[in-house]
Amino acid sequence: MNFSSLGFFRSLRRDNKQFAVIGLGRFGRSVCSSLHRLGYEVLGTDIDEKRVAQAVTEQLVAHAVQLDSTELPALKEAGILEFDTVIVAIGNYLQESIITTLNLKEAGVPHVVAKASSEVHGKLLQRVGADHVVYPEYEAGSALARSLTQPSILDRFDLDPNHSIVEVSVPEEFHGKTITELQLRNRYGLNLLAIGQDERFEINPDPTKRLYKNWVMVVIGSNRDIDRLPI
Ligand code: ATP
């Protein structure tokens, strides 16, 4: 997440319990099943009747309707325009994805999230009013490349293009040393936020605490400084 998407996520209503997902491909189905598992009521729609039936059989959604989302009356009839948040999960059909997003925004749906399959697609979605655009293939590909090239970085939160919070395995070199001895701020320009072992984290750990190589640490700093860690 970055600053530009922060405004979008802040504007979502906390009491909203319902979502509509248009397009039941792999991405749309995954959004449906996760929302459903988290206890939200999901209306799934697709132009393909078989996909609609499958979503119901597999209990990915509470309700499912077959419709062509490029037709405004169909969206209206299915009650989709009343939803607070609608996810347009149509990646491969550019025209359909754009028209659907345009229809939803022109009809006043407050929050429209749309999946883009390319940069140009994403730009077009923003032009027609999408409130948040996601690039799942691009994001998954970048995450995979990062974990292949920096396997010690277990998790990462990008604050901006130059600064991050990362969860890393405690480097071999740090094994058995106290936090004071490591001098992370002086030597690396990094601040230690937490240390973790056995899936439990200690926030603002005591500086006298010793670190061990099977533990993890969470640090904040510039990417350049993070890259200097002996991991
Ligand atoms: P993946 O399956 O990899 O997630 P995707 O999300 O890019 O791919 P698409 O192939 O773009 O998926 O299609 C998503 C779904 O959108 C398909 O099930 C397709 O039938 C549906 N769809 C396409 N056009 C429309 C439309 N006009 N109205 C409703 N659903 C549509």
Shortest CA distance to 32 belongs to which of 77, 75, 71, 65?
A: 65
Encode pLDDT of 73-103 as tens digits. Answer: 999 999 999 999 999 999 999 999 999 999 9
**CB 124 near ligand 1, within 6 Å:** no
Per-position b or e across 26-39, b if 16+ CB within 10 A of its CB: ebbbebbbebbeee
Q: Which CATH architecture has domain 3-138?
A: 3-Layer(aba) Sandwich (3.40)
User: Where in the chain are the domains?
Assistant: 3-138, 145-226
Query: Is 90 exceeded by the pLDDT of residue 55?
Result: yes
Q: Report which DSSP code applies to 31.
A: H
CATH superfamily of 145-226: Regulator of K+ conductance, C-terminal domain (3.30.70.1450)
- Classify 172 as helix, strand or coil: helix
- Report the separation in Å between the CA atom of 22 and the middle of ligand 1, taken as the mean of its atom positions: 8
pLDDT for the residue 65? 97
Q: For residue 25, which atom of ligand 1 is closest to its CA?
A: 2
- pTM for the structure as a whole: 0.81
Query: Is 90 exceeded by the pLDDT of residue 181?
Result: yes
Encode pLDDT of 115-174 as tens digits. Answer: 999 999 999 999 999 999 999 999 899 888 888 888 888 888 888 889 999 999 999 999
**CB 69 near ligand 1, within 6 Å:** yes
